[in-house]
Chain A
Amino acid sequence: MALDRELVGRSYPPSAVYEVGRAKIAEFASAIGADDPVHRDGDAARAAGHPDVIAPPTFAIVVSLQAAMVVLDDPDVGIDYARVVHGEQRFAHHRPIRAGDRLVATTTIDAARTVAGNDMLTARVDLATEDGEPVCTATSMLVARGES
């Protein structure tokens, strides 16, 4: 099924709040082998100028990709999740994500096209604090391979 170009610009209601936990940051940092103390030690993070421990840059995906699933659940999009692969990823960090952040994700379809039977959908997820401070813009290009 070809993607409808009219989907471009569609925005979804803000997600529930995701509260960033200190232990989750440490767990994620360990999983990617990031051993910098700013991910685990509040004093080290403050010495580096941060209010609390900060997450590694790609931690944003934990919150953003979950939020972007709202697009695949949209009946107008009609993409089968089982065929989806991650084509491209971009992060623009307004500031590092840190422990205690209460993040809200707002997802927008930035692009939708069908090339050679493959559906390519670009979802932009704006992560901001509950109070509206922008934290990260995470843009994911998802490809649903055509059934051959």
Chain B
Amino acid sequence: MTSSPDIGTELPEQVYRVTRADLVRYAGASGDFNPIHWNDRTATAVGLPGVIAHGMYTMALAARAVTAWTGDPGALVEQHVRFGRPVVVPDDEEGAEVTVRGKVGALLDDGRVRVDLTVTSGGEKVLSLARATVRLQ
């Protein structure tokens, strides 16, 4: 991306599939072995509908949608999310779907652009706030 986008420019929508296997893999890679992310008994015992994705996994998918747009993972200089609603991941081949939409919300100084994201699963917003700042050369 070489020129500055207009406010309101939409990012290509990204749809990511999340299965139990992805959560196990993320647990290992991140070191977050909280059983609510892989064990139905624990998840339901603490009042969840079932196993849920790590919030940080959802945040990582949101970041991927942004870097897919900029083409450079190093261009993401800031990211802020608020975890609103869990992504429930059923124990089947389909898993859950996470959809990331975004648009340019503000043009900042120093070639930076703020991107406002909408992240949903099963038609519900899972991040109640999701913003990223990218530096475009």
A and B assemble together: yes
Residues of A near any B CB (own CB < 8 A): 24, 27-28, 30-34, 36, 38-39, 48-50, 54, 56-58, 61-62, 65-66, 85-93, 95-96
Residues of B near any A CB (own CB < 8 A): 16, 22, 25-26, 28-32, 55-57, 59-61, 63-64, 67, 72-74, 76-83, 129
Across the interface, which residues of B come within 8 angstroms of A27, CB to CB?
Answer: 28-29
Complex formed: what's the CA distance from A88 to B61 in Å?
A: 16
In the complex, the answer to whether A58 meets B60 with C-beta atoms within 8 Å is yes
Q: How many A-B residue pairs have CB under 8 A?
A: 94
Q: Kindly identify which residue among A33, A57, A65, A89 contacts B76, using a CB–CB cutoff of 8 Å.
A: A57
Complex formed: what's the CA distance from A134 to B61 in Å?
A: 25
Closest residue of chain A to B30 (Cβ to Cβ) is A62
Give the residue among A28, A32, A91 with the most B Cβ atoms within 10 A: A32
Q: Given A36-B73, A48-B72, is A89 in contact with B26 using a C-beta cutoff of 8 Å?
A: no
CB distance from B121 to the nearest CB of A (A): 16
Q: Given A48-B72, A50-B74, A91-B78, is A86 in contact with B64 using a C-beta cutoff of 8 Å?
A: no
CB distance from A148 to the nearest CB of B (A): 10
Complex formed: what's the CA distance from A91 to B62 in Å?
A: 13
CB distance from A100 to the nearest CB of B (A): 16
Complex formed: what's the CA distance from A50 to B26 in Å?
A: 25
CB distance from A5 to the nearest CB of B (A): 22
